[in-house]
Structure 1
Amino acid sequence: MVQTNGAPLPAERKARAEVLTLSTLGFTLMFAVWLMFGVLGIPIRKEFGLSDVQLSWLSAVAILNGSIWRLAAGILADRYGGKVVFTTMLFATSIPAFLVAHATSYPALLFYAFLVGFAGNAFSVGIAWNSAWFPKEQQGFALGVFGAGNVGASVTKFIGPALITLTPAAGYWGGVIPGGWRFVPFLYGILLILMGLAMWVFTPRADRRPGRGRPLGEMLRPLRNVRVWRFSLYYVVVFGAYVALSAWLPKYYVDNFGVPLYQGALLTALFIFPASLLRPLGGYLSDRFGARRLMYWTFGLMLLASGVLMMPEGHIVLELSSGTREVMPWHVNIWLFTTLVFLIGISMGVGKAAVYKHIPEYFPNDVGAVGGLVGMLGALGGFFLPPLFAYAQQWTSMPQSTFLVLFLLTLIAAIWMHLTVLSLLQKATPHLEHKFERIPEGDS
């Protein structure tokens, strides 16, 4: 409902602001819960005596459960409204958060980590919810602001080490409130309940449900389009890899640069902040210049940075024209490493918004289903990549293999995108097919 001059009514603006603000805060908290094992994993590894592969699976199972329900969650948000679905998810996730705080064995912890990972599915709910409230010309920016809730991945990086250090291992009140690393999931459980109450009270009572009454088969029909699966691969690169690196980098810093956990967590936050907070900028630039142009920049910068980071340490030998050899040592120190990872974070932050700018443009009536599938497959990349990082390092004995995996994945996505663009250009300009000079056979 808008005024005759096209400007939204004050009540409409207020409702949009409430949805965007509360959904972003809720998503920030849910994302913090989803990826909390990136920091908690270090003291957990010490307490339970875990190997790197066992530790990687702890993060991976949480990421898995935060991925597999995204399609269903997006459809439910379209059909029943984002308010009901998001609030229910907040309350439901608080239960396994409390269970994680009281786990006494690795199998139990693995199971509870899987359950608490349900928090990750909030993303597709928020995407569908905000798309229903904002007009097309503002969707890129609005979805970028909401997506900036990815910064929740850094919340545990900042507060986790301090809380682990400051709370006694025995906890408080005879262990009713657990201490040490267990205090963090316990605190998150309380915050999830409070956030659920706030969302229910302070968002519009009359919600929007664009999928209400539509048959399920009709809502799923766009998923047959190969374009949806291509967008999903892009999202594996810019989001799945972001999730994986957010969980993997603290351990990488501790193991390869010998820094303490709190410093590794803070340096990881330098990757998380641009990868999260630049999503609004990415949405704005996508609205203005086009999402595909931004994806070219995203993939190009990621290939450049990961190409340097994947190089093994050693010596570079230069053969000079004079016949002499110049030998230069090659080593990525912590500052060069952090700078290049920061560049990857910038690329991912812009790229995540660009991918989701495509969806309401191509599938305006099916944002929940399409956004849910893209989010699900992208997040599944975050599930597969940490174990793949661990196995690649185990097979090659090189920690740099983490970025070899990222480089190859990005290269595949970039090639597919470029081939698609060339195909579209050829179809759009068939009259130019025979306008270029042909080189006779035998000429060079």
Structure 2
Amino acid sequence: MAGRWIEKWEPEDETFWRETGERTARRNLWFSVLSEHIGFSVWSLWSVMVLFMGPEYGIDPAGKFFLISTATLVGAVVRVPYTFAVALFGGRNWTVVSALSLLVPTCAAFWVMEPGTSYTTFLVVAALTGIGGGNFASSMTNINAFFPLRKKGWALGLNAGGGNIGVPVVQLVGLLVIGTAGAAHPRIVLGVYVPLIVVAALCAALRMDNLRPVQNDTGAALQAVREPHTWIMSVLYIGTFGSFIGYSFAFGLVLQTQFGRTPLQAASLTFIGPLLGSLIRPAGGWLADRYGGARITLWNFAAMAAATGVVVHASRIESLAVFLVGFIALFVLTGLGNGSTFKMIPGIFHAQGIAKGLRGEEAAAYGRRLSGAAMGLIGAVGALGGLAINLAFRQSFAASGTGTAAFWCFLGFYAVCFTLTWAVYLRRTEAVAAKPQLSYAEV
């Protein structure tokens, strides 16, 4: 695909950034956000479609949880190839292609969304929506290349947060349709998104750029796979983003199944948590830029464990009000943690470059090279956390009729993430004291 290519890109050069880079990077950021936003909406379509699926569809709560789990799984897996597509085809070019591809799952859902359709067909169509989850990986890899290290927390947080808002927006569209046309008209939701997908693709084609210096680096990918920090950060990202996407997909079903809410009542509450979690994500990146991503991430996991304790208590006393307070707090904290964990990734690899004796642009290039390769893997593994959450809910509801057992598991996992963050990135040792450049407290 022909397109605009920028041959030279040096964002760490302050003169270049001030005169040319910042304006171009911001323009690409805004249109990347638009495409990623639509991608998240398509990925989370089935968190809305299941609210329309009454008794006439013949699918029990466990079956509905499995539908949304299928979308989550595919969205996680495709993040890996989407990461490398940016360097292979160009950020602008791939944004256009990935946006247009969203027409496939949207039109397929429009075609099959009616009582009498087989469960297997619903599974296949739900799986197709997973490609919307891949847009995040390519978008983050692309924007990571545009911005200097000192701006990455803010830029990546804004990019991801704007994309994440696609989840509550599609849920709000679902609420509007259920509240006006009724629960028998899910195709209206799907019809809204077809023109929006076309608009996102056109905007990317007309306003975005490809970066020639961004090239696939098989060596960097292999090095990222062998790097322990890639997998440590994957675990932390399971705790933050995995929680966000898992809870976003499951929230409405939990309200219907555990608290007996109607589709309209569930839809009127479902969007609140994902919306707040999305809006707060840039703040998590900003706080990480200011105070260090590891510090923000550490205390964020402590707060997530506390909020989960509130949810467990609410489930025990069967209080919807207390449950909503705890669950929405969880959403806000997942958003903060999303921003702080993703800020840590380029900082960690930049610190490693310094530890190897690199300085200036060489250290920055080393950090960009490895962090760009690692982001796709971390994003994919993190999204699999959403699958784990959906499956945990499915098992918990199948066994006991409530999500309490699942929440106890989540609380334990947040404790593991807290300990891991402290032990790897904040604990002071003699070796670190002797070599301050190996400390990751500021990443």
In the other structure, the counterpart of 1:197 is 202
Q: What's the Cα RMSD here?
A: 2.4
Q: Which runs of 5+ in 1 are unaligned?
A: 170-178, 315-330, 432-444
Give the paired residue count. 403
In the other structure, the counterpart of 2:64 is 55
In the other structure, the counterpart of 1:159 is 173
Q: Distance in 2 between matches of 1:393 and 1:200?
A: 45
Residues 99 and 422 of structure 1, relative CA distance in 2, 3 Å threshold = closer
How far apart are 1:415 and its partner, in Å? 2.1
Q: In terms of Rg, which structure is larger?
A: 1
Q: Give deviations 1:329-356, integer Å, cap 9, x for gaps.
A: xx25222221112221221111101111
Does structure 2 conserve the Cα–Cα contact (< 8 Å) formed by 1:71 and 1:370?
Answer: no
In the other structure, the counterpart of 2:410 is 406
In the other structure, the counterpart of 1:142 is 155
Question: Higher mean Cα deviation, 417-426 or 61-70?
Answer: 417-426
The 5 Å alignment of 1:267-286 reads 267-286=269-288
2:37 pairs with 1:37:
no
Q: 1:350 aligns with which of 336, 350, 365?
A: 336
In the other structure, the counterpart of 1:108 is 121
Q: Distance in 1 between matches of 2:121 and 2:141?
A: 34
Structure 1 SS opposite 2:130: helix
Q: TM-score, normalised by structure 2?
A: 0.85
Question: Higher mean Cα deviation, 8-17 or 105-114?
Answer: 8-17
Q: Distance in 2 between matches of 1:313 and 1:84?
A: 48
Identity of aligned pairs, percent?
A: 24
In the other structure, the counterpart of 1:436 is none
Question: Higher mean Cα deviation, 4-13 or 296-305?
Answer: 4-13
**Amino acid in the other structure paired with 1:399:** G
Does structure 2 conserve the Cα–Cα contact (< 8 Å) formed by 1:310 and 1:402?
Answer: no
How far apart are 1:183 and its partner, in Å? 2.6
Does structure 1 conserve the Cα–Cα contact (< 8 Å) formed by 2:272 and 2:328?
Answer: yes
Q: Distance in 2 between matches of 1:191 and 1:375?
A: 25
Does structure 2 conserve the Cα–Cα contact (< 8 Å) formed by 1:240 and 1:379?
Answer: yes
How far apart are 1:125 and its partner, in Å? 0.8
In the other structure, the counterpart of 1:367 is 371
In the other structure, the counterpart of 2:137 is 124
How far apart are 1:262 and its partner, in Å? 3.0
Does structure 1 conserve the Cα–Cα contact (< 8 Å) formed by 2:11 and 2:148?
Answer: no
2:268 pairs with 1:266:
yes
Q: Distance in 2 between matches of 1:312 and 1:147?
A: 31
Q: Give deviations 1:128-163, integer Å, cap 9, x for gaps.
A: 111111111111100010011201110122111322
Structure 2 SS opposite 1:355: helix
Q: Distance in 2 between matches of 1:117 and 1:375?
A: 14
Does structure 1 conserve the Cα–Cα contact (< 8 Å) formed by 2:220 and 2:369?
Answer: no
In the other structure, the counterpart of 1:293 is 295
Q: 2:211 aligns with which of 203, 208, 212?
A: 208
In the other structure, the counterpart of 2:327 is 341
In the other structure, the counterpart of 1:326 is none
How far apart are 1:209 and its partner, in Å? 4.1
2:49 pairs with 1:46:
no
Does structure 2 conserve the Cα–Cα contact (< 8 Å) formed by 1:78 and 1:368?
Answer: no
Residues 10 and 265 of structure 1, relative CA distance in 2, 3 Å threshold = farther
In the other structure, the counterpart of 1:184 is 189
Q: Give deviations 1:167-190, integer Å, cap 9, x for gaps.
A: 589xxxxxxxxx811232233233
Question: Higher mean Cα deviation, 348-357 or 415-424?
Answer: 415-424
How far apart are 1:420 and its partner, in Å? 2.2
Q: Give deviations 1:356-401, integer Å, cap 9, x for gaps.
A: 1112221421333200000000111112221221102322443322
Residues 394 and 376 of structure 1, relative CA distance in 2, 3 Å threshold = same
Does structure 1 conserve the Cα–Cα contact (< 8 Å) formed by 2:61 and 2:257?
Answer: no
Does structure 2 conserve the Cα–Cα contact (< 8 Å) formed by 1:132 and 1:209?
Answer: no
**Amino acid in the other structure paired with 1:400:** T
Question: Higher mean Cα deviation, 267-276 or 301-310?
Answer: 267-276
Does structure 2 conserve the Cα–Cα contact (< 8 Å) formed by 1:132 and 1:210?
Answer: no
In the other structure, the counterpart of 1:435 is none
Q: Distance in 2 between matches of 1:144 and 1:4?
A: 22
2:96 pairs with 1:87:
yes
Q: Give deviations 1:255-287, integer Å, cap 9, x for gaps.
A: 333333233223222211221111111111111
Q: Distance in 1 between matches of 2:12 and 2:406?
A: 54
Q: Distance in 1 between matches of 2:319 and 2:192?
A: 36
Residues 424 and 189 of structure 1, relative CA distance in 2, 3 Å threshold = farther
Does structure 1 conserve the Cα–Cα contact (< 8 Å) formed by 2:165 and 2:274?
Answer: yes
Question: Higher mean Cα deviation, 229-238 or 74-83?
Answer: 74-83
Q: Give deviations 1:401-440, integer Å, cap 9, x for gaps.
A: 2321221221222222223246653422379xxxxxxxxx
How far apart are 1:115 and its partner, in Å? 1.1
Q: 2:398 aligns with which of 394, 399, 404?
A: 394
In the other structure, the counterpart of 2:431 is 427
Q: Distance in 2 between matches of 1:219 and 1:125?
A: 15
Query: Which structure's residues are more often helix, by fraction?
Result: 2
Q: Distance in 2 between matches of 1:20 and 1:423?
A: 35
Structure 2 SS opposite 1:374: helix
